[in-house]
Amino acid sequence: MKKILLIEANKAFAKLIATKLRVETGYDVIPAGTLAEARVLAGTQRFELAVTGLDLPDGAGAEAVDFLLAQKIPPLALVEEYDERVKRLLEGKLIVDVLLKRTTEDLNILGSTVKRVLANRRVKALVVDDAMTYRVMMKDLLESQFFRVFEASDGVEALKMLEEHPDIKLVITDYYMPNMDGFELVTRIRKKHKKERLSIIVLSGAQAEDVAAKFLKFGANDYIKKPFSDEEFNVRVNLNAENMDLIESIHRMANSDFMTGLYNRRYFFETGNKEHQKAAREGTKLCVAMLDIDHFKRVNDTYGHDAGDEAIKKFARILQDMLPETCLIARFGGEEFCVLMPAADASKAKGLLETVRKAVEAQSMVYGELEFGFTVSAGVCSKQLPHLEEMVNQADAMLYEAKHGGRNRIRVA
């Protein structure tokens, strides 16, 4: 399990912090009451992050922060007051953040901040600036926030980098650059990358009052005026990352089945129609399968609806585990699922679904003190019909045949 080092002299407060961080992150939190204890722990264990107070019995001021930085353990400082003394102590040090530790709300902010920066590990960020000094500075700041950082010296390089890494989620670009300035870069990026999928922050020392509005109108998510403080930069960057996560979460809820986490019927047809059109255009194979749990009403009546729900979740997991990632799997409702299988002919589709059928047949469900099994049937349409909905209907007809043919079997049209 991944670990967070907590250095805090107040044992009661350390216990509250540790509980909060475990709940928010799922990480193991290892406490140390002194800097000496922290040194021992850091020498024997690996930590992803450290949360430390500044006033320790054997390490006043920024001594703990300096130690953690030397050990390459990113530190987050906790203070009673964020005053000029603290600012001077931490000036120039690449720390995660400085937060207060006075109230319950402070603990909530600590929990959400740590959760945010740990989530940044999966976020790729691109820094675009022709001035190497600024590039290095921003790269260091972003890495202190756990982002995966790429660099480009101008807009032309930036566009190439985005082609190579289309999963970049955050672009931080200067305005004035050779070859292609920030405004043209923002405009070009927005032709391919939607605002809710990729966030652009523009940096500029331009004095004109309308520069920020101009960038925001034409696709930037945020604007930071040079010179800026490390704190402002980190806050803006993390807010943009958090906003993208929130939008992604909303999209996921709109497109997903609440019980299984699989895609829902609406998303299946929205995305599946594109795959259907692509297959028709390129002349490639495409199969559609309908599957459901045999005698599902009997499962509900015998073992209860909660057990039935667990059976649905189990079946969903088997579908995800056994079918290739290229398959589009959706729960249509109740115990009924639909799978779109690109580049699959009848033989391949039946083979893949046989592995699913056998896996379901072999498993045993344990729910509380109950133990039971179930089987599934499937129908497949392997003929390219003019519309996806027609293929779904044909697969459903084959599923009907499988049911009336004895269940626990697959029928292919």
Contact 329, 272 (CB under 8 A): no
**Per-state percent for the chain, helix, strand, coil, to nearest 5:** 50, 20, 30
Contacts of residue 95, defined as CB under 8 A and 6 or more positions apart, other chains included, come to 65, 69, 74, 75, 76, 77, 144
pLDDT digits (tens, 9 = 90+) for 347-388: 999 999 999 999 999 999 888 888 899 999 999 999 999 999
Contact 357, 410 (CB under 8 A): yes
* Global pTM value: 0.76
Please say if 390 is a catalytic residue: no
Spans of the chain, pLDDT less than 50: none
Report residue 176 as tokens. 């004035």
Alpha-carbon gap, residue 407 to 279, rounded angstroms = 31
pLDDT at 125: 98
Confidence at residue 9, expressed as pLDDT on a 0 to 100 scale: 94
**Cis link prior to 342 (omega < 30° from 0)?**
no
Structure tokens at 178: 């050779």
pLDDT of residue 365: 87
Nearest-angstrom CA–CA distance, 221 and 206: 18
Q: Which of 335, 354, 361, 390 is catalytic?
A: 335
Q: Supply the pLDDT for residue 208.
A: 73
